[in-house]
Structures are given as C-alpha cells and as structure tokens.
Structure 1
Amino acid sequence: MRRSAKCQVDKVLRATLSVCVLVGLILPVAAQQPVVSDPQNARDRLYGEIQAEFEAVSRQRSLLKKVIRFVRPSVVHVESRKSADRTGLDRDVAEAGAGVIIKRRNSFYVLTNWHVIRNSAKSDIVVALADGRRLQPTRIEKDEITDIAVMRIAAARLVSAPLGDSQAAEIGDFVLAFGSPFGLSHSVTFGIISAKNRRDLTLGSEVELQDFLQTDAAINPGNSGGPLLNLRGEVIGINTAIASSSGGSEGIGFAIPLRLANEVAEQLIDHGNVTRAFLGVHLDSSYDRDAAREVGLLSPGGARVKLVTENSAAANAELRPDDVIIQFDGVKIEDDNHLINQVKLTPVDASVEVVVLRNARRMVIQVQMGTRDE
C-alpha cells in the first residue's frame, strides 16, 4: 500500500513539473510574439482625445464670446466729415473710427481719439450704436497732447463699459481690440499685450505724450478710438496707432493706457481742459553717458537738474542744481524726455518719491506735485 501510494505521488509530481516546464517554455515564446494593433481602435482613441481637447478650447472660446457680447453694446462706430486743408484745397473727407461709451456724473460720453474727429463740427459727426441707432454729439472736448477726446451723447438705453486697471495689465495678457477697420464697424480681434510704456514713437500720429501699450491684436486704419479690453470685459486702453510699412496691420499696434485716457477724460468732462503736474526744473542737455559715469552710475540714465524754478514743487522739496534724478515715482529714469513724460503723466497734487544722486550720494526726496500756475 505504501509503495503504491508513493508511486502515485511521484507520478503526480512528475506531471506537475512537466506542466511547469511547458508553461515556462511557452510563456516566453508567447511574450515575444508581436502585438497586432487595430487601426480603427487607434483612430477611435485619437478621436476621443481630439474631442476632449476641443472641449477645453471651446471653454476658452466661450469666454471670448461672452466678453464680446458683453462689451459690444458699449462700442460705437464714429463717422466724421472733415475739411482736408493740409493741401490747401477746400474739400471734405469722410473718415471712420470707433469709440467706447463711458459714464460720468450721470451723463454718457464717447471716449475716442481726437484725430478721429479733428476738424469736424458736431453736426458732421455721427455716433452709430451697436443696435443701429445713429446719434450726434451735443458736446465735444479734446486734449491734443494725448490725442484723447470725449463726446457727450444722449439717448435711452445707453450702456457704459466697465473700466479696468491698465497698470495691472502684464505682458502676455490676452486682449481684445474693438474698432471699425476700413469702416467695418464693431469688428473685434484677439491678441496679447506685447509690451508696455512705449514712447518716443514716430507713427504718423501727433501724440506728444506717449506711454503706449503695445499689442499684436490686429489694428488697422479705422480702429482708432476703439477700446482694448482684458478678458474680464474691462477697458484697459484706447487703440490709437500702428507701426506699419504697408498701411495695414503688421502685428504692432499701440493703445493709450486707460489710466492716462480716463484721467484726461475726467478733466475734460469736469473742466473742459486738462491741467498737468509741474515739477519745476530745467534739465541739463549736456548730461550724457560720460557724465553719468562721473556721478557714479554704472549704466547711462537719469536727468541732471540745471535750474530749479522758484516756488515750484521742486523748490519746495529742496531739489538742487546738479542733482541727477534717477527715479521718479518708482520709475527708473532713462533720459530728459523720459522724466518730462513721467511728470506729465503724474496726477496734479500727487505726492511723489524722487530718487536723486547728490555729490555721489543716493537720496530719497518726497515731492508734492503742483501746477505751472502755482
């Protein structure tokens, strides 16, 4: 009985080992066989991925569409007839531009560029709303230095646009540009902010005070005066000019930042003119790269004071001749024109921190800005 049982156990073990050996031989062979993929399954997977990514893109596009629908009622098309007198010929020219409706002191105004309506009487200007209504302005005020104008309009159901913070805008932020390129009203383009604080530009525009936002959103003739918007649906700039060799968009457009445009607009609406801050210094035009090294600057920059006007903001703050102003209100000063620009951009009566080099020593001086008439 024991011998027979042992034989049976041995047979079972041998059979088990044989199976294990066979499995061990078979599995590697099976693992090395090529896997045949189903082309249809691969296409189905790819199609599914496309749909998922499309949904993500659609959500982004949905935001753009909502912003456009939200802002469109506040954007206007501006038509004007003006006398083209530069050639000495007495002839009328029809021009088109854009603008955006803002609200101040319970009245509605169109904020636009002065060059859009320059040389036009109120009776020669038409403001076309998105709903098709056509209005004429009852009051026009302008500031040629910044190329900003405001036109008062009166009608029922006017919608003003929300105003954003252009200082908070950053390079790379998405933006929308509204306007009337080539007379095509209420057109919109999409892009980013390419740069900030652009100045000293020769763009065929007579804008003396420049502090532009640069954008690659397509801007063409007729976009002037239209709003530049962030994706919150807020106005952060007024489209003003392009850099172009062809006369059309080449991806380099410029907008007046809203901080400047709105400050000018408020003064125009409230007073009919713009009062600008006055520092009260005469600058030394002989100050150059070599002079900058002599005062201890490692790189060229700053503006050197030549004279200080009596009873001015600079005099009250005890700025002195030969002080080199290297920073004004947190902005590093590059040269004389840069300082002049920054002073003009400063609100009247603002308290400004000015950093100067005096006898090679760095000093921080608080300046209470004033006006030229003070």
Structure 2
Amino acid sequence: MAAYSFFSSTYISSPSPAPLRFPSPNRPSSSTLSLSRTFAHRNLHTACIVASLRPTAHANPSPTPEPADRKLLDSFVVLITSVALSVSIFVTDVDPAAAFVVTPSKKLQTDELATVRLFQENTPSVVYITNLASRQDAFTLDVLEVPQGSGSGFVWDKKGHVVTNYHVIRGASDLRVTLADQSTYDAKVVGFDQDKDVAVLRIDAPTDKLRPIPVGVSADLLVGQKVFAIGNPFGLDHTLTTGVISGLRREISSAATGRPIQDVIQTDAAINPGNSGGPLLDSSGNLIGINTAIYSPSGASSGVGFSIPVDTVGGIVDQLVQFGKVTRPILGIKFAPDQSVEQLGVSGVLVLDAPLNGPAGKAGLQSTKRDTYGRLVLGDIITSVNGKKVANGSDLYRILDQCKVGETVTVEVLRGDHVEKIPVVLEPKPDES
C-alpha cells in the first residue's frame, strides 16, 4: 500500500518539469513550447494510469496487518505503473528536431536562388587551361615543361572543342585542360585568330563529361543589363563575379597584333588575371561574350573589363573548326603609327611598305623611302576605301573587316600634292605559324 501510494502521490502532485529555454530576445521558440507540451502530456497520461490503479482509502486509519495476497497485489501494481511510465515516454510521438532547432534556416531570396542556379548549371562548361613551356635545366640539361601561364575557357560542343583567348595559349609548347570534375586532358590547338584574340582547342574527353555552354546573342544587349563572369582568377577554382553591362560598342586592340576589335562589351563584373577566355553570361545563363581584357594600371580589376561579343566569336569559331584558320582580307601594307601622321598635319594612313607581291604592291601603291641624298620621301597616304573615310589605322581595319577575299576595293590616296584612286584586289591573310 505504501509503495503504490508513493508513486501515486509523486506523479500526481509533482509539477511538470520546467521546459528547456533557449536565449531569445522576444519569445520562446516553437521548439520550446513543443517540448513543454510533450512533457506535460507524458505526466498527465502517467498520472491517469496511476490514479485508476490506486485503491480507495479505508475508513479506518489504524494500521492493520496486511495479508500476503495484498503484498502481491502491491508489487503487481508497482510493476504495471513502471511499464506504463516507460511506454508513455518511449511511444509518445515527439519530433526530435523540435527540441534542438532553435531558429529556422534563413531562406534565400529569389534573385539569390537564380544566381546560385546559374552558377551550378554553367560551371560544368567552364574549364581551366594551363600553358606549359619547354625549358632546359641549366645543370642537368634536361628539358622540362614549366607552367608559364593559365586562363579559362569553355566547352563549345560535344566533339571536345574548347574556346579561349589566343593570348592564353600564346607561346605554349603544351596545353592542358582541366574540367569541372578535376579531370585533366592534353589539348591540341585547332586554330586561332590573333586579330580577334580567339583560339580553339580540342581535347579527347568522354562525351558524358563534355557540357557545351548555351550560346546566346549579343546584338540586342542593353547597358545596365545584369551579367555574370565565371573563370579561374589567380588560379582559384571556378569563381563567379557579377555586375552589369557598363557600355557597348567599345573598341580595344588585340594583344597579339594590335588590330582593333570592334563592338566589345564593357562590364563592371570583376575580371582578373586568369579570367581571360572565360564566359560572360546573361541572366538566363547564355553566353554573350568572352572575357578578354581589363583596364587597370595595377593589373587587377578596376571595374572596367572587356568581353568579345559572342556574335563575333561564333563566326570565328566556325571557321577555325572547319578550316583551322580564319580567312580575312588584307591590303598587304605596313603603315606608320597614327601619331606620326598627325605630326604631319594630315589625316589618313601613311604607307611605310607595300611589298610587290602583296595586293597593294601589285596595284601600285607607293612605299615611304629615302632618296639618293638620304631625305625621307613619304609614301601614299590612304584617305578613304570605297568612299568611306579613313582617318587612322582603326578605320582601315574596320572597313576591311566588312569586305571579302577577292573583292576589288577603290583606295583613295594622297600622293604628293594630288589625290589618286587605285583599285586593289583583296587577298587572304597568310597563315600564321
């Protein structure tokens, strides 16, 4: 009797356990309330079981000797109470996370989710390119391959073609391409265009590892439009930077030949050494340009980066993949720097040399030379081509880019004190080694 009376009084009269409390400036968290209700439910359930088993108190409070069967009953009640308590604790359905989660995880905003998704979907298309050069050890005379530079690139198609900048691979004896899964492959140069700073490589990788990047359009871009750059700046693996289009139809010079590249995209997305050759994407994840240069005295990003538009790149890549070279018309001349012509007080392109086996030489354009007395005799100064004014070298290149090989153009030159118009048949640019 004393035993089950003790259990009964303990579980009925004792208050519910104090709930766990987590520091909160406002109010208890939902997990604290849930845990408190769970303990209260367990105590109430146990108390009801014990109360139903507790016998009615005798009218006579005087102690009397208890028979053996009453002791057996007391032991049985204690056993049943213990079992009921254990079952109520272990069977009651309690969410284990509710007792330990203090605050719910912070959810991302819609624009953040879009950026995360864009990075995850396009990262498999971006590759890391290592430029290796052969060097001879001064002591052992062994020829070693030493990394002399690195850059980025992206998968163009399922055939293993990879597009990057020409200046990323320039001077390389060997090239290695590392995919997003860190698998590395030796790359072969399919072709390159020095004038537009574009190169195409090819790797022998399994088709299931090649994820071509979706190609967009650059003709309808707008200033202020969001853009995303993915690359490997300073050798860091797959870095994403964001920004907007700061300007359109910019012009930069090729790092290899100095020939101007027109319609370049200007962006404030951070572009650093190692980003060269990587893709510039729009908010839909489509390729709109190749990151190629930055304007910075220090060599690091200053918020002014430039990308070759994809409309220009597409035609170049197609020619390189099909023919291994780009067929571009030339006049076949060497001309003086623009500053030298400005000092003469004239506007145009001064012909320094027009080889006789070139288009201009065959047509009769005159080169700059010295007479028998050592005096400088200026050559022809090109002032227009097909009626389009030529004020400097960039104008000349821009006009020639709109022409085709084999086309006859009318070149207007200033020869001495008079103007002449000379027809010239354009020829393809010789192959570069």
**Which band: TM-score by shorter chain?**
0.5 to 0.7
Counterpart in 1 of 2:284? 232
> What is the letter of the counterpart of residue 342 of structure 1?
R
> 246, 249, 255: which is aligned to 2:307?
255
In structure 1, distance between residues paired with 2:332 and 2:171: 34
Alignment of 1:228-307 (within 5 A): 228-277=280-329
SS in 2 for 1:266: helix
SS in 2 for 1:199: strand
- CA offset digits 1:39-88 (Å, max 9, x no partner): x9xxxxxxxxxxxxx99x92222222222222111110111222589xxx
- CA offset digits 1:283-329 (Å, max 9, x no partner): 999998xx99xxxxxxxxx97999x97999xxxxxxxx99856997x
Deviation at 1:120, TM superposition (A): 1.6
Alignment of 1:41-52 (within 5 A): none
Change (3 A) 1:80 1:150: same
Deviation at 1:270, TM superposition (A): 1.1
Change (3 A) 1:310 1:137: closer
Q: Does 1:151 align with 2:201?
A: yes
Change (3 A) 1:246 1:149: same
Alignment of 1:69-80 (within 5 A): 69-80=120-131
1:276/1:346 contact within 8 Å kept: no
Counterpart in 2 of 1:127? 177
What is the root-mean-square deviation in Å for CA atoms of aligned residues?
4.5
Deviation at 1:281, TM superposition (A): 11
In structure 2, distance between residues paired with 1:138 and 1:254: 27
Deviation at 1:371, TM superposition (A): 4.5
In structure 2, distance between residues paired with 1:310 and 1:207: 22
- CA offset digits 1:328-370 (Å, max 9, x no partner): 7xxxx7833333232344374799xx9x9xxxxxxxxxxxx96
> What is the letter of the counterpart of residue 391 of structure 2?
D
Counterpart in 2 of 1:141? 191
Deviation at 1:226, TM superposition (A): 0.5
Select the structure of larger CA radius of gyration: 2
Counterpart in 1 of 2:132? 81
Deviation at 1:267, TM superposition (A): 1.4
In structure 2, distance between residues paired with 1:164 and 1:311: 43
- CA offset digits 1:136-183 (Å, max 9, x no partner): 114432222222111112222111011121222222221111111000
Counterpart in 2 of 1:60? 111
> 222, 226, 232: which is aligned to 1:170?
222
1:145/1:207 contact within 8 Å kept: yes
**% same residue:** 31
> 182, 197, 203: which is aligned to 2:234?
182
Deviation at 1:257, TM superposition (A): 1.6
Change (3 A) 1:278 1:125: closer
Change (3 A) 1:201 1:264: closer
Give the 4+ runs in structure 1 shifted more than 6 A: 279-288, 302-306, 308-312, 325-328
5+ long unaligned stretches in structure 2? 1-25, 27-105, 137-142, 352-358, 364-380, 413-424
TM-score, normalised by the number of residues in structure 1: 0.61
> What is the letter of the counterpart of residue 108 of structure 1?
G
- CA offset digits 1:232-257 (Å, max 9, x no partner): 21111111111112221110111112
Alignment of 1:271-350 (within 5 A): 271-277=323-329, 335-346=391-402, 348=404
Change (3 A) 1:327 1:215: farther
In structure 2, distance between residues paired with 1:227 and 1:243: 18
2:130/2:147 contact within 8 Å kept: no
Flag the structure with more relative contact order, 1 or 2, with Cα contacts below 8 A and sequence separation at least 6: 1
Change (3 A) 1:186 1:254: same
Aligned length in residues? 285
In structure 2, distance between residues paired with 1:173 and 1:270: 34
Deviation at 1:130, TM superposition (A): 1.0
5+ long unaligned stretches in structure 1? 1-39, 41-53, 293-301, 313-320, 357-368
TM-score, normalised by the number of residues in structure 2: 0.53
SS in 2 for 1:167: coil
Counterpart in 2 of 1:107? 159
Deviation at 1:113, TM superposition (A): 1.0
- CA offset digits 1:2-60 (Å, max 9, x no partner): xxxxxxxxxxxxxxxxxxxxxxxxxxxxxxxxxxxxxx9xxxxxxxxxxxxx99x9222
- CA offset digits 1:64-120 (Å, max 9, x no partner): 2222222111110111222589xxxx98344221001102xx623110011212222
Counterpart in 2 of 1:366? none
Deviation at 1:217, TM superposition (A): 0.5
Counterpart in 1 of 2:149? 95
SS in 2 for 1:137: strand
In structure 1, distance between residues paired with 2:229 and 2:390: 30
1:283/1:336 contact within 8 Å kept: no
Change (3 A) 1:252 1:134: same
